[in-house]
């Protein structure tokens, strides 16, 4: 498993910063409350698609610049596509944004999201598609779509929310578009912890460092199993995935190194092989 370091990509609406095997992705349109413009949508798709082959990046910390995490779709910046009728154009916009969440779930790196201020609609789904979420006291989230005459089920909200918070709270949010704040998000398990805003990045990086103490393949396959087994049709299907991963990893050099390190009471030196 090669871990040759690659150069972090450069974007106009996102900032990407490397911290060893951790990459910090910052939504950087604070003047527009980090709303999803067509350009930002393209960049997020490009970034998360590219992670699949970037084995030198083991964890992603996603955050946002400014007073809001992401206000959802930037309606003012909607892209007009020549030659497409209204239905085809709307479907293209839906698919372009929706692909971000598909790629977030498909990339092998755990994503730690740090949220503050408003996270609405598609911005809310950026949090939902992440693996771990920390929130500032100012964080407030909603599935905004029903507020503008649409169904409340959009950008995977009807998939993520019931699985994360249960059917009752999911229905409450989706059928009204109402906001929930950090306190209720914490009590429902939607976020892991409420953290002062100026400490969010340190909190996310500390968790990322804990993840780096695991073997590279073990971390990647753990995310895969979690995401696949949430939809497993039975206990047997879920355990078959776990058994497959454990048998595979038991034969790796990293597994042997972990055993030696345990016996010798030291930190393992993982190589990704």
Q: Which element (helix H / strand E) includes 140?
A: strand 140-142
Tokens of 98: 């929706």
Tokens of 82: 């020549």
CB 132 within 8 A of CB 115: no
For the domain covering 216-264, report its CATH number: 1.10.12
CA-nearest of 239, 235, 258, 259 to 247 is 239
Judged by phi (left if over 0) then psi (alpha if -120 to 50, else beta), residue 153 lies in beta
- d(C-alpha 143, C-alpha 124), whole Å: 7
Given the candidates 3.90.226.10, 3.40.50.1820, 2.60.40.10, 3.10.20.600, the CATH classification of the domain at 14-212 is: 3.90.226.10
Task: Calculate helix-pair angle for 235-250, 216-229, nearest 10 degrees.
Answer: 170
CA-nearest of 155, 123, 160 to 139 is 123
Domain assignments of the chain as residue spans, ordered by start? 14-212, 216-264
CB 112 within 8 A of CB 130: yes
Tens place of pLDDT per residue across the chain (273 aa): 445 677 778 999 999 999 999 999 999 999 999 999 999 999 999 999 999 999 999 999 999 999 999 999 998 877 777 777 888 888 888 999 999 999 999 999 999 999 999 999 999 999 999 999 999 999 999 999 999 899 999 999 999 999 999 999 999 999 999 999 999 999 999 999 999 999 999 999 999 999 999 999 999 999 999 999 999 999 999 999 999 999 999 999 999 999 999 999 999 999 989
pLDDT (tens digit, 9 = 90+) per residue, 85-121?
888 888 888 999 999 999 999 999 999 999 999 999 9
Four-residue CA torsion sign, 204, 63, 90, 179: positive
């Amino acid at each position: 498993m090669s871990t040759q370091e690659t150069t972090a990509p450069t974007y106009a609406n996102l900032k990407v910063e490397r911290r060893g095997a951790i990459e910090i992705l910052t939504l950087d349109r604070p003047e527009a409350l980090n709303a999803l413009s067509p350009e930002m949508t393209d960049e997020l798709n490009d970034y998360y698609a590219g992670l699949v082959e970037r084995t030198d990046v083991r964890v992603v910390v996603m955050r946002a610049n400014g007073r809001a995490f992401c206000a959802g779709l930037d309606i003012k910046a909607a892209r007009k596509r020549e030659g497409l009728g209204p239905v085809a154009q709307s479907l293209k916009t839906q698919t372009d944004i929706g692909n971000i969440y598909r790629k977030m779930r498909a990339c092998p790196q755990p994503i730690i999201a740090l949220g503050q201020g408003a996270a609405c609609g598609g911005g809310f789904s950026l949090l939902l598609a992440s693996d771990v979420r920390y929130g500032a006291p100012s964080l407030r989230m909603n599935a905004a779509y029903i507020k503008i005459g649409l169904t409340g089920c959009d950008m995977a909200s009807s998939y993520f929310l019931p699985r994360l918070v249960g059917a009752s709270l999911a229905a409450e949010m989706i059928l009204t578009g109402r906001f929930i704040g950090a306190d209720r998000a914490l009590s429902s398990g939607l976020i892991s912890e409420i953290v002062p805003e100026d400490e969010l990045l340190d909190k996310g990086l500390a968790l990322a460092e804990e993840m780096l103490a695991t073997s590279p393949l073990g971390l990647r396959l753990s995310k895969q199993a979690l995401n696949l087994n949430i939809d497993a049709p039975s206990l047997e299907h879920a355990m078959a995935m776990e058994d497959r991963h454990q048998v595979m990893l038991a034969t790796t050099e990293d597994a042997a190194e972990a055993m030696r390190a345990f016996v010798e009471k030291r930190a393992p030196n993982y190589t990704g092989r």
